[in-house]
Structure 1
Amino acid sequence: MRAFKLCTSVFAVFLATINTLSAKQQTDTPSEVNDGRQLFIANCAVCHGPDGDSVPGVDLGHGKFKRASSYDDLVEIISAGVPGTAMPAFSKELSDIEMRTIVAYFRFMAANAYSTSAPGDPVRGKAIFEGKGECLNCHSVKNKGSRLGPDLAEIGAVRRMIELERSLLEPNAEILLQNRMVRLVTRDGITI
């Protein structure tokens, strides 16, 4: 019995060491993460949403997966798809390297999902939002402002800090399909 406990302990330490080494080897470059982000937006965000949390039971941005227990499993799922579901195979559209950069982006999102930021100043934020930032020219908050863009009253509850920051710094980088502008021209040449 004593030998069994010793072997179990040694094996547990061995597994912990392997996991630590694997984590250290999973260092992704900023370029890989950015490439993965672009590929995710182009190929995955339509179904998974910009934060990777639009499919029930899956939250790619927080490292919660329904069918994968490792990042290698995710590469396989991206490659082969999931039969009987809406998840298609991307093996013909994406190279192995491209699939791995998408997974690098998942790792980045998961690592930054719970990062804490400095506390904000609501009074200053409101002044910038309503004044110098000109946010109300496109957005509204509880029916105050324009209806061109989405209402932002509950945005803090549905978007992570990193996504909000990116939206402020690069407002046109990711626009959800339902928020895109549409311009219609009738047969008579009238623009709606």
Structure 2
Amino acid sequence: MRRLKSLLAIASMTAIMLAGCNSFPGRPTKAELPLRPSNVTDFAALYGENCAGCHGADGKSGAAIAMNNRIYLEIIDDASMRHVISDGVPGTAMPPFAQSAGGSLTDRQINLLIAGIRKTWAAVSSAGSGAPPYSNSTPGDSNRGAQVYAANCQSCHGADGKGGTAGSVVDASYLSLVSDQYLRSIVIAGRPDLGHPDWKSAASGQPLTPAQVSDVVAWLSSKRPASPLAQSN
């Protein structure tokens, strides 16, 4: 009986001490504790942590396509953007971010990213009016693409694509890290943050047709070194 009373007394003292710890000066409140990564819902935080490193802190001037490119945001739909963010692009520097694909973001966080990108950078605009479609299931012709390149691209990228006033577009390392869809997006939407024109501002003075876009992408793709990984995403 005496032993039981001693154990109860010790248990009571321990509970009192633990309760007292909650009132120590400087102890953070529940509201001050950092959120679990899966509970972060602020767009700026999500974008800064997961996207800014490649797409730029302000949605531009990063290594990857600019997210503040209005034409790009007009031609890509939510489903396509969600697919790229969720599953990544095999064979390129774009990793999967969805938890279901081994990433760290929940479906809700991916939806918040898409909505935030559009709200922040996709102002009401007709910049993409008449643009070729984001994707195309019909392969282009690389022979015709060589002619499209000569008329519209070589003045900056050189006759052989190895660089002129602008950089090389046939560099093996570059082409190994980008997909055909990425090339298509750049040809259509350009990189205004880097001075690269879009499809309607081609050097020939005429907007590129959907077929011409597919053809020049086929020509660029033909310069890519053989790889076991698919480049169709």
Same fold (TM over 0.5): no
Higher Rg of the two aligned structures: 2
Which TM-score tier does this pair reach, normalised by the shorter chain?
0.3 to 0.5
Q: Please, what TM-score do these two structures have when normalized by structure 2?
A: 0.31
Q: Please, what TM-score do these two structures have when normalized by structure 1?
A: 0.37
